[in-house]
Amino acid sequence: MEKIAFIGTGVMGKNMALHLLKAGHEVVVYTRTKEKAVPLINEGAKWAETLGEAASFADVVITMIGYPQDVKEVYLEENGILDHARPDTIVIDMTTSSPSLAREIHKAASEKRIYSLDAPVSGGDIGAREARLAIMVGGDKEAFDKALSVFERMGSNVVYQGEAGAGQHTKMCNQITIASNMVGVCEAIAYAEASGLNPETVLKSISAGAAGSWSLSNLAPRILDENFEPGFYVKHFIKDMGIALEEAEAIQLKLPGLELAKKLYEELKDAGEENSGTHALYKLWKN
Amino acid sequence: MEKIAFIGTGVMGKNMALHLLKAGHEVVVYTRTKEKAVPLINEGAKWAETLGEAASFADVVITMIGYPQDVKEVYLEENGILDHARPDTIVIDMTTSSPSLAREIHKAASEKRIYSLDAPVSGGDIGAREARLAIMVGGDKEAFDKALSVFERMGSNVVYQGEAGAGQHTKMCNQITIASNMVGVCEAIAYAEASGLNPETVLKSISAGAAGSWSLSNLAPRILDENFEPGFYVKHFIKDMGIALEEAEAIQLKLPGLELAKKLYEELKDAGEENSGTHALYKLWKN
């Protein structure tokens, strides 16, 4: 059974690594703040003092970290993962990051006979906890096949999407869809309230039909409860939308809906809501 | 069992009236083009030569017609429904129309001791055929209770939303939600294709998760099949978005997502697609 290095043990990473431990994998963890790794160490994970130590130990290196800049650093800089991983290691970036960077890492990895996959996820903290993540994978099919059993410990909808970068591109499709939908959901609730309707009764009429969506069923009720705790952070969503817009610009694709959503989310961030959940977008209509 | 006048026998109205006939109601039909009523007449409906003949016959008058201007004419002009309906008749406009007009009709009806309900539907031609429409009702609760058994012949999700206009306002919430979501769905597919992904494989990753929606599950596959037959017409959707924006403006509510969607749909209409289905919006990214 593969030895796994898990880099990044935030809300998502911690739960994902836990499933690997429970499945019987040897797991070594490394993260910037050791405290965050303690729950995993208590469950039997080993602690690596350096990134290099983690990378050289493993058959499979998984990263689940913050921003593309972090991903770039951890893989490509001196003493990074690619400097230390052994040939035939499979490195898997599960962070939502840039498709272009995924291709860059894949190229650098290939030159060292290391396999590289980009495999961002969807499903949030609940999906991570219940091992029901959607995992969208790009890279060599051979590496995907080898890593499939590892993915299946963490997700219930694992799909190979194509060459390096395709996983990240697919995640961008996911975020593009969500972005405009969230605008629609928030505008509908704002309209319901402003026109004197009872928004809860409105949801009874519209949630099950053609207006229905995951966001309407799961986030609209939280909006009505004024519960803006993050399932997914505003700041991370802005990062994702930024990546998608950059990629779209590079291929001269106009995405006016996504542009509008990003602009609205930036207003929300400027209003001090960057650590709220994405459904806090509704507050723009409330203030 | 109530005698019912059914005004307007297009794709939606025809199927709705058929369920009332099958339930054993006496149904009289009137429509501008008699031809469209023939299938119902063949099933046992009576033909009324005038609107007044239909209205004076019935305990319940149902209208399912085109645009708010038609609704206004049919109810409020000389020799219209309110001129001919007997006191205690329940008149029900199931057209998607203006909340303000619904209140105006309600007021005029009340003065003649006629009950008025606004009860637009969602669920499209399939919902009408299978009697699984969502029906969103505004008006007097007493009239709603009396008409409930009639609604339940046509719909499976019948919800009383409040005073006159509340049904139409609720339908606007439905359309506001759909409008931005459709933009997101089309942009995601356009991005998938432009970035070299297989959009069908992308849908496998994203349809079941947080990006999931009725539109993504039902309309995205039609887009990929290049089947742009109308479930719901572009021209009618533009009408609905126009009503919602007018109402929002009247209460000084900004809906930038809806504004953008309407602008994009008008571009689509200008490109000759007014009689296509709403998912033809995707063509804006294809041309």
CB–CB of B181 and A214 under 8 A? Answer: no
Model pLDDT, residue A134: 97
Over residues B18-38, the pLDDT tens digits come to 999 999 999 999 999 999 999
* Residue A125, pLDDT above cutoff 90: no
pTM of the entire structure?
0.96
**What is the rounded CA–CA span in Å between residue A72 and residue A76?**
6
Over residues A140-159, the pLDDT tens digits come to 999 999 999 999 999 999 99
Model pLDDT, residue B165: 98
**What is the rounded CA–CA span in Å between residue A186 and residue B181?**
11
**What is the rounded CA–CA span in Å between residue B24 and residue B3?**
10
Q: pLDDT-based confidence at B231, cuts 50/70/90?
A: confident
3-class DSSP state for residue B3?
strand
Mean pLDDT within B187-193: 98
* Residue A191, pLDDT above cutoff 70: yes
Q: Which residue of B has its CA nearest to A190?
A: B253
Model pLDDT, residue A75: 98
CB–CB of B169 and A215 under 8 A? Answer: no
**What is the rounded CA–CA span in Å between residue A65 and residue B91?**
60
On whether the B3-164 domain is CATH 3.40.50.720, my answer is: yes
Q: Where are the beta strands (DSSP E) in A128-260?
A: 133-139, 155-162
Q: Which residue of B has its CA nearest to A188?
A: B173
Model pLDDT, residue B2: 92
Kindly report the backbone phi and psi dihedral angles of residue A231, in degrees, each rounded to the nearest multiple of 5, phi listed first.
-80, -45
- Domain range annotation of chain A: 3-164, 169-286
CB–CB of B161 and A205 under 8 A? Answer: yes
Q: pLDDT-based confidence at B287, cuts 50/70/90?
A: low
Q: Which residue of B has its CA nearest to A170?
A: B202
Q: Give chain B positions within 8 Å (CB) of A216.
A: 177, 213
Do B3-164 and B169-286 fold alike per CATH?
Answer: no
Q: Which residues contact A233 (CB under 8 A, 6 or more apart)?
A: A274, A275, A276, A277, A278
Mean pLDDT within B168-197: 98
Over residues B125-140, the pLDDT tens digits come to 889 999 999 999 999 9
Q: Give chain B positions within 8 Å (CB) of A179.
A: 184
On whether the B169-286 domain is CATH 1.10.1040.10, my answer is: yes
Nearest CA distance, A38 vs chain B (angstrom)? 30
* Residue A119, pLDDT above cutoff 80: yes
Q: Which of B3, B146, B171, B204 is catalytic?
A: B171
Mean pLDDT within A193-219: 97
Helix then strand count (H, E) for chain A reads 15, 9
Question: Are A214 and B213 spatial neighbours (Cβ–Cβ below 8 Å)?
Answer: yes
In Å, how far are A174, A178, A284 from B210, measured between CA atoms? 8, 7, 22
Give the one of A177, A185, A218 whose C-beta lies nearest to B188's C-beta: A177
Mean pLDDT rounded to a whole number for chain B: 97
* Residue A231, pLDDT above cutoff 90: no
CB–CB of B248 and A188 under 8 A? Answer: no
Model pLDDT, residue A287: 66
Positive or negative: CA dihedral A57, A61, A66, A68:
positive
In Å, how far are A63, A219, A276, A279, B128 from A229, measured between CA atoms? 25, 11, 6, 9, 40
Q: Which residues contact B121 (CB under 8 A, 6 or more apart)?
A: B12, B94, B96, B127, B128, B133, B134, B135, B136, B154, B155, B171
Mean pLDDT within A22-42: 95
